[in-house]
Structure 1
């Protein structure tokens, strides 16, 4: 009978002070401290550690920004199967080592490494590491600094959260990333640049009422969870009927070539930050990826889009990646929980952005609300006056529909079309509907008019006040119904509803 498979277990030890503790500790603390230690357990070909932001994370050995460890200690071998190990990690991530349980002195990366080492091998990590907090607190300066230390955390960037949103383990294939960034504040864009992907409405894959338009080279993609019903008063319930009769508009543009894009970014970002963007390419290029992006990736997107010094070209190209990312439900769940509140910040500062960046983001928002999970995320009314919904409708939808730039209100018409496929709050219906009616007074391209009339009809079916308002303001049907048979049909239906 063959022996069970075994794996070596090592502890990687890093001095966060890079030698300064050894040089300065005697003068400041009155005793010599060899280092300020961070540790990770290396087993099954990966390094596992615990941090104050991401909880339990994994990366390739030595794959965080700390680089290679200062020392490595062999702890022995383990015969525990990998899936059992992951199950144990998941249990720890839901109890002792949740991100909120992190404490720099009492429950840190070294406590996690100690627990993991004993679970895997029965051996502990070196005592000088786990005993460091007591040594520091035994000094007068340590006691004086304790309130400040209590609020600190260490989270070396470079790993992926193993259990994003508390999901149980699905695979051990967790590739590394390379950095952690704090939120970059949105700034008014001052740099000029060309918008990625052109301005034609035909960039979008648009389907509805038996009609389809598609850009050359574009591919259609149905989002997970799309649905809704066009039944009056409640067209968000019957998803099967809605998906058959009123399919979403989805922008599918060719993603910028990876190497040239990353080369351009390398002039603006650090190598670690560029690596996170590279992760996004890998994620989108992997069918059914077994790993997830994490908050560090969203923070990188936030920084690039929010900084006008990046220029419109780079920001527009990153938005093309984001168009595809928001079609993935797991990514929407990440947006719901990541600390920078990327989408909320985009909506809050939308008017400060250049027209090119605004149009790129309108396509992102259109894709986001093309499926139910994304639609709910954008129309969630929690958060008061700065919730997504309160910013989306007046500042983005209405402002873009009433914009003088035809490309702007054409893209806004796609957003409104998708937004109205599902039920939206009653007080928002009139606000959006009024902007649609005003935009319909213009001479419009056929696709724009069709999108707006479709959205308006959905609102009219669920809100009698919208029927009255459309009857009073008018829908310019005499002009639009000449553009195509499908528009003539919509205009006839709308005029019938206003006459009732």
Structure 2
């Protein structure tokens, strides 16, 4: 995000481009630039791992809802609000508050109060229509849109999005091809310099020299991968690009510490059949459709595209409706726990970013029956299987729930602590797995420092018991990571609260190695 000079100077200068903002509330700017020139300061908001297709889907959704044509308001729904909304979606944090508060600060000034009626008039007139270029278009008479027109618009939009995605992939591919070409030229130059150097040492033109020259000529005549890539059709380049992206993602997954997940939980088909039996006669037509969508996604391995926009309403109905049996909730959670292992579950999770149906339910884990707690904890654990869903669990943007601010990372932490300190051995296994997976993420933020301290206190309390070697290793490994993340507070807690890590020395070789790592940070 790049704060412009207008957003950082005195109020009067911000009000000068009002006519421009109202007539063209948004336009495309070169990356790193602004309509006012170079930015005075660059604010890093974070990193995102969302795929381009998800971002496009989200942006198009905004364009037909909150930021649809005619919704622009200079004070309450402007470009900064749009940037804040998109930033929260991408990286879990908004733009600096002082930028969002600028309109309110301006209105409080004498000149702002004088211009307030004019601004409202302009805003109201702007909401009555929309702009095309610099020409204001009055709203047409509302009429029912024909299905053929909708299909045509959908086809046009899909073609436009495909064109954008193709162009982006083409640019990336061209960059890779150029890089390969530079490497090839460099290698050729090094070979030439080497042969030139060897030639200066001897004037011999014997068989070995001829052989070297021939090999060099043959190598130059053979097409390289880069040359073949340059002759590829655009469709082939897209396929190659997608394959490269998959390989890069798999490489990242191989390089990370493998998360602890639960893959062999239950018979998925049997769980779904039982869920259908328990919900028979209790669902409306839409919810019955949602149940079939769940079958397609979970059992038939269809992509997340099979899930409708109102799918989470069905999930919320089953989880929150007290008239339904606990058994139905358990069956649904068991299915979701298996579905969490899918690489496209992130698309389902992003449907929940407004209502927070899933995470609000997870935050209340201590209030649910013990039968529901286990599959819920397994669902959270299995979301660490894929990079995108594991990053989603760490989002720090807050929302209000029961008069308190909570976030994804807070919910994940609560589920981990509650599970680890429960009396159920199965829940303890989930708690140990979640804490291990969190520690292996190695998130270096102030928020995660606090989380590391909270999880450390839970680990130390858990160590007062007699954990199994498997759970002890996962927890001791997490503790060693936390001493690195929060190098001051965590070691202090270990020494103040105890027990001493050496209490478990001799349990196994790998546990002893983790104990040594912890002791390195203790004074």
More strand by share: 1
Pairing 1:101-116 to 2, within 5 Å after superposition:
101=68, 110-111=144-145, 113=147, 115-116=149-150
Indicate the residue corresponding to 2:497 in structure 1.
Answer: 473
| Change over 3 Å in CA distance of 1:457–1:98 after alignment to 2 | same
- Comparing 267-276 and 378-387, the one that deviates more: 267-276
Instruction: Give the TM-score of the pair, scaled to structure 2.
Output: 0.49
In structure 2, how many angstroms separate the alpha carbons of the residues matched to 1:167 and 1:358? 43
Q: Contact between 1:316 and 1:360, CA under 8 Å: does it hold in 2?
A: yes
* SS in structure 2 at match of 1:248: coil
The residue number in structure 1 matching 2:411 is 391
Q: Corresponding residue for 1:280?
A: 294
2:441 partner SS: coil
The answer to whether structure 1 residue 295 and structure 2 residue 309 are counterparts is: yes
- Indicate the SS of the match to 1:376: helix
Measure, in 2, the Cα distance between the counterparts of 1:109 and 1:263: 44
CA separation of 1:290/1:368 partners in 2, compared to 1, >3 Å: closer, same or farther? closer
3-state SS of the aligned residue for 2:344?
A: helix
Following superposition, the deviation at residue 109 of structure 1 comes to 8.6
Could you list the per-position Cα deviations for residues 327-380 of structure 1 after superposition, in whole angstroms to 9, with x for gaps in the alignment?
Answer: 335332332243431232113322221112112111111111333322222221
Is the CA contact 1:441–1:476 (under 8 Å) kept in the aligned structure 2?
Answer: no
> How does 1:327-342 map onto structure 2 within 5 Å?
327-338=341-352, 339-342=354-357
User: Aligned partners of 1:106, 1:496: CA distance in 2, in Å?
Assistant: 72
Seen in structure 2, the aligned counterparts of structure 1 residues 118 and 312 have a Cα distance that, compared at 3 Å, is closer
**Separation in 1 of the partners of 2:310 and 2:411?**
25
Structure 2: distance between partners of 1:469 and 1:119: 61
Q: Secondary structure at the match of 2:495?
A: helix
Identify, as 1 or 2, the structure richer in helix. 2
Residues 428 and 283 (structure 1), Cα distance of their counterparts in 2 relative to 1, 3 Å cut? same
The equivalent residue for 1:457 is 480
Q: SS of 1:411's equivalent? A: helix
2:518 corresponds, among 491, 494, 500, to 494
Could you say which structure has the larger radius of gyration?
Answer: 2
Residue 430 of structure 2 is matched in structure 1 by 411
Q: Which is bigger in relative contact order (C-alpha 8 A, separation at least 6)?
A: 1
CA distance in 2, matches of 1:168, 1:290: 22
What displacement does 1:431 show?
A: 1.1
1:321 aligned residue: 335
Residue of structure 2 aligned with 1:98, choices 48, 64, 67: 64
RMSD across aligned positions (CA): 4.0
Task: Work out the CA distance in 1 between the residues paired with 2:419 and 2:469.
Answer: 18
Matched length: 301
Q: Secondary structure at the match of 2:465?
A: coil
The verdict on how the C-alpha distance between 1:274 and 1:119 changes in structure 2, with shifts beyond 3 A counting, is closer
Determine helix, strand or coil for the equivalent of 1:291. Answer: helix
Change (3 A) 1:350 1:117: closer
**1:481, distance to aligned residue in structure 2 (A):** 3.6
Shift of 1:430: 0.7
Report the CA distance between 1:293 and its aligned residue. Answer: 1.7
Superposition deviation, residue 423 in structure 1? 2.7
Structure 1 residues 97, 415: closer, same or farther in 2, change over 3 A? closer
- Once the two structures are TM-superposed, the CA of residue 427 in structure 1 deviates from its matched residue by 1.6
Q: Select the residue among 369, 380, 391 that pairs with 2:395.
A: 380
Contact 2:304–2:344 (CA under 8 A) maintained in structure 1: no
| Deviation for aligned residue 1:287 | 4.7
